[in-house]
Amino acid sequence: MHAEEKLTYETWPAEPEKSTLEAKNKFLGFWLFLGGETVLFASLFATYLALKDKVPSADHALAKDLFDLPLTFVATMLLLTSSLTSVYAMYHMKNFNSQKMMLWLGITVLLGLGFLGLEVYEFNHYVHEYHHKFTSSAFGSAFYTLVGFHGAHVTFGLGWILALMIRNYKRGLNLYNAPKFYVASLYWHFIDVVWVFIFTVVYLMGMVG
Amino acid sequence: MSTYAQKKGFGSVIWDYLTTVDHKKIAILYLIAGGFFFLVGGIEAVFIRIQLAVPNNDFVSAGAFNEIITMHGTTMIFLAAMPLLFAFMNAVMPLQIGARDVAFPFVNALGFWLFFFGGVFLNLSWFLGGAPDAGWTSYASLAIHSKGHGIDFYVLGLQISGIGTLIGGINFLVTIINMRAPGMTYMRMPLFTWATFVSSALILFAFPPLTVGLTLMMFDRMFGSNFFITENGGNTIIWEHLFWIFGHPEVYILVLPAFGIFSDVFSTFSRKRLFGYSSMVFATVLIGFLGFMVWAHHMFTTGLGPVANAIFSVATMAIGVPTGIKIFNWLLTMWGGSVKFTTPMYWAFAFIPSFVIGGVTGVMLASAAADYQYHDSYFVVAHFHYVIVGGVVFAVFAATHFYWPKIFGTMLNEKLGKITFWLFFIGFHMTFFVQHFLGLWGMPRRVFTFLPGQGFEMSNLISSIGAAFMSAGVIVLLINVIVTSVKNEKVGNDPWGDGRTLEWSIPSPPPFYNFKQLPLVRGLDPYWLEKMEGKKGMTPAEPLGDIHMPNASFIPFVIAFGLFVAAFGALYNGEKSWAVPVIIIGLLITFGSMLVRSLKDDHGFHIHKEELMDDNDKGVKA
């Protein structure tokens, strides 16, 4: 099979994300890239743990003063659900149903935007209510860098999925763009997994430890 | 798209190289750029040795000396050794596995241009207010207080070129996993391909910590954060950890490909199958794995405590075992072989004792208690130059002579090659052997001068004379390159006559699609196997058919250029009013061109069967 073939529901392969050599390469290369990203976030987590609650003086807010679990819970639910909806999108991609794939990707993007909105609100809240800033302490720098790196990944992922949707809205699925949708959804899952760790290490451990 | 046979003018050759995605041309770009930075780093080394030739010298000031040693180390590691090895990986590895290109030709070009712009950015520091001066390790406790923009150039330049290296590593991994020719199983891959594979895996996991370390330093120096500002709760040891979690695997990223090159040279010129092939593969993988377990041996005197020091000490010594396996396998490959002393073989032969000296001092340094004596002395300088020059640079020289005909289609002059060898080999040992003793006598590293009457004069002078010999060796190599390029006597597929692996079964230089028909691999050393059975070339694994090739693209250059622009903005952030707009413009260029790449369909093109039948393996110039 090659990327430019015109396919129908009947001839659409079971694994369109790796049915050409280019697609196989993309699939594997992206998994390896995510391996590198894992080490990147591991380094950021280590830095955060080393600098947690490290502030210059006693009047700075610490982790236990800052976090608000209900808000974080809502954000977590939005992001976890968006991972589920992206799975639905990939299910329809595998069934050669471009319309429904677009629908579920659209919902994924909306949920992601919701998450991002909450994060912006949260950061704003910390800065204005607690004077917990990027530049105010080592704790602040480490917190905003770790969570901000994740937020930047969410933003990039949203832009990526949106661009793919707009580009392919009219022309439907083929073996050239199916792997692109697939790796974008992999990226989205990865962002989700990282958030699970942030939720645990930053927020839960910040509240109890 | 059958325009590839046309004659081209100078302008279109430049455009061709700016837009190429062909691994063989990217290899030439890496070779030229890496070679250029090798000369720059070499000149810096010569300045260091002139300054230290006699006591109380004032050839350069103390401040300039700090800049020179920092740039010498940084340039040699990131901008010379790695790109030169990448050049050979690009030129040879796809041919060794019987592939028509790497998995991501576009990403390959992008990787080169990122490295190139990162390197240029770093070196522009010389002209824009001073180079970085906190040593190549740029420890935060020093770097954070460095005046001027030197450290900022270091941080941003390495960040850009580091991304290039990272994506290059991913590319090689996917190429080796997915694109091997029929019959090319993992345990039939040449050792250089294996080394490329393992060192790419190391790149994948070692570069992200560096990325993070550099990002933290960038935030601290340019955007007001407090990671390394102790008054505000920061901790400079974080930098040391992140740097060495990257930095130690980096040593193996460099030396494993060197091992791979030597393995291929030894078996080729001993005209004998590599002794203990599977144990060589095992040792390569094991060294790669252990390479991640030993970073804190650079930090024995940081004060991590006796338990951590003991663990890292033992783990470090353990690396001596797989390395020893390799040394003995190379010796036993030559044993009983019909050894031919060509220039690459000279380098390989000299590599063994030179590298073993570096290995022995490595085990000495690995002993944590003794390290308190050696630490920060010239003993350390001698050790790592024995490993990096005696291992990596010797390998680069060997590979330059060995693969030159495959890359350029003409042989380097053997006589000049041997003169290069003798000058460089003698100069190398003169320069660095005495430095062991200088260190043991108490001369600290990174000092810009020393006093008379302390017993350092003679050895330092010998060391500086050795540097002159090394420089002469490099100059002879440059003359060799010019002479052979002017003569340009074309050679055939297998100019050494003893080629064992697939790259020698196709024309020199290979046609841009490499293999007209993918070869069928029937065992280790597949080309040798066929030759021994009296065949002229490889048996094809497929009928002659259309070949799918990628389109050239200018976008990689533009993506890298955007980051180069943004880096200038970041550098002057908070100081010049145009800084933030420049950051934004640069990032728009980068992300905009990435978007174009993502949205514009690029299916590549096909070379048709009929065209392939026309050019009868003449090695059409791409």
Q: Note the pLDDT of residue A10.
A: 86
Residue B160: how many CB atoms within 10 A of its CB? 25
CA dist., res. A140 & res. A145, Å (int): 8
How far separated are the first and last CA of chain A, in Å rounded? 55
Write the pLDDT tens digit of every residue in B390-404: 999 999 999 999 999
> Is there a contact between B232 and A55 if contact means CB atoms under 8 Å apart?
yes
Q: Which two three-digit tokens encode residue B46?
A: 């010569």
- Average pLDDT on B38-44 reads 97
Q: How many CA atoms lie within 13 A of B25 on its CB side?
A: 20
- Average pLDDT on A201-205 reads 94
Write the pLDDT tens digit of every residue in B592-616: 999 999 888 888 999 998 888 866 5
Full 3-state SS string of B262-292: HHHHHHHHCCCCCCCHHHHHHHHHHHHHHCC
Q: Which two three-digit tokens encode residue B381?
A: 């300088």
Torsion of CA A186, A192, A193, A196, to 10 degrees: -170
Cβ-based contacts of B219 with chain A (< 8 Å): 134, 141, 145
- Average pLDDT on B418-426 reads 98
Quick check: A67 contacting B, CB < 8 Å?
no
Radius of gyration of chain A (CA): 20
Site from B173, B227, B547 to mutate, A interface, most A CB atoms within 10 angstroms: B227
* Residue A84 clears pLDDT 80, i.e. is over it: yes
- Average pLDDT on A14-33 reads 93
> Is there a contact between B205 and A47 if contact means CB atoms under 8 Å apart?
no
Question: In whole numbers, what is the pLDDT of chain A averaged over residues?
Answer: 94
* Residue B446 clears pLDDT 90, i.e. is over it: yes
Q: Looking up tokens 């800049």, which residue turns up?
A: B67
Coil, strand or helix at B179: coil
Q: Kindly state the percentage of chain A with pLDDT values over 70.
A: 99
DSSP 8-state secondary structure symbol assigned to residue B548: E
Question: In whole numbers, what is the pLDDT of chain B averaged over residues?
Answer: 94
Q: Note the pLDDT of residue B41.
A: 97
Q: Which two three-digit tokens encode residue A195?
A: 């958030």
Cβ-based contacts of B209 with chain A (< 8 Å): 39-40, 43
- Average pLDDT on B508-528 reads 95
Provide the pLDDT confidence category of residue B618 given band limits of 50, 70 and 90: very low
CA dist., res. A193 & res. A41, Å (int): 11
How far separated are the first and last CA of chain B, in Å rounded? 12
* Domain boundaries defined on chain B: 3-553+602-614
Q: Which two three-digit tokens encode residue B42?
A: 């070499």
* Residue B316 clears pLDDT 80, i.e. is over it: yes
Q: Looking up tokens 């490889």, which residue turns up?
A: B538
Q: Note the pLDDT of residue B7.
A: 61
Provide the pLDDT confidence category of residue B382 given band limits of 50, 70 and 90: very high
> Is there a contact between A164 and B598 if contact means CB atoms under 8 Å apart?
yes
* Domain boundaries defined on chain A: 69-208
Write the pLDDT tens digit of every residue in A139-162: 999 999 999 999 999 999 999 999
Provide the pLDDT confidence category of residue B335 given band limits of 50, 70 and 90: very high
Write the pLDDT tens digit of every residue in B116-149: 999 999 999 999 989 999 999 999 999 999 999 9
Contact of B520 with B183, CB cutoff 8 Å: yes
Q: Note the pLDDT of residue A1.
A: 64
> Is there a contact between A55 and B603 if contact means CB atoms under 8 Å apart?
no
Q: Which two three-digit tokens encode residue A190?
A: 């990865």
CA dist., res. B257 & res. B392, Å (int): 8
Q: Note the pLDDT of residue B611.
A: 84
Q: Kindly state the percentage of chain B with pLDDT values over 70.
A: 97
Query: B22, B188, B4: which is closest to B94 by C-alpha?
Result: B22
Q: According to CATH, what is the number of the domain B3-553+602-614?
A: 1.20.210.10
Q: Note the pLDDT of residue B2.
A: 42
Provide the pLDDT confidence category of residue B5 given band limits of 50, 70 and 90: very low
Query: B284, B258, B490, B278: which is closest to B386 by C-alpha?
Result: B258
* Residue B196 clears pLDDT 70, i.e. is over it: yes
* Residue B622 clears pLDDT 90, i.e. is over it: no
Query: Is CATH 1.20.120.80 correct for A69-208?
Result: yes
Residues 6+ apart with CB under 8 A from A115: A75, A78, A79, A82, A154
CA dist., res. A176 & res. B261, Å (int): 38
